[in-house]
Amino acid sequence: MKIVWTKHAEDRQKEWEKKLGITKQEVENALNIPGQTVPGDMGVPVARKKTRNGLLRIPFREIDENLKILTLYWTSKVEKYWKEE
């Protein structure tokens, strides 16, 4: 599947790269091989991956066999979002 970035997601990635060193490749890897994928707000799936003592969250849509990254962010609140199965 091809990964498509929204302008907003690109801007957010650049912010997180400055703050924590989260690269575009790291985001794409987390989307392709997430630790978890869960439904988010309004049914938008959210890929999640533990990294840097926190959690990278990537809301996305699957459109015509493409994965479109809507936004992304990192949080230290792993226990709030991570669901043990």
Provide the residue range defining the domain that includes 8. Answer: 2-81
Do β-strands 2-5 and 66-69 pair in parallel, antiparallel, or remain unpaired? parallel
The pLDDT value given to residue 1: 86
Q: Would you give the DSSP letter of residue 33? A: S
Tally the domains of the chain. Answer: 1
Give CA–CA dist 8/19, Å, rounded.
17
Alpha-helix residue ranges (DSSP H) falling in the chain: 7-20, 24-32, 78-81
**Average pLDDT by consecutive 10-residue portion of the chain (85 residues)?**
96 98 97 95 95 96 96 95 82
- Beta bridge partners, 46, equal 38, 59
Model pLDDT, residue 83: 81
The CATH number covering residue 13 comes to 3.30.2310.20
Q: Decide: 46 and 37 in contact? Cβ < 8 Å.
A: yes
Q: Give me the pLDDT at residue 85, please.
A: 67
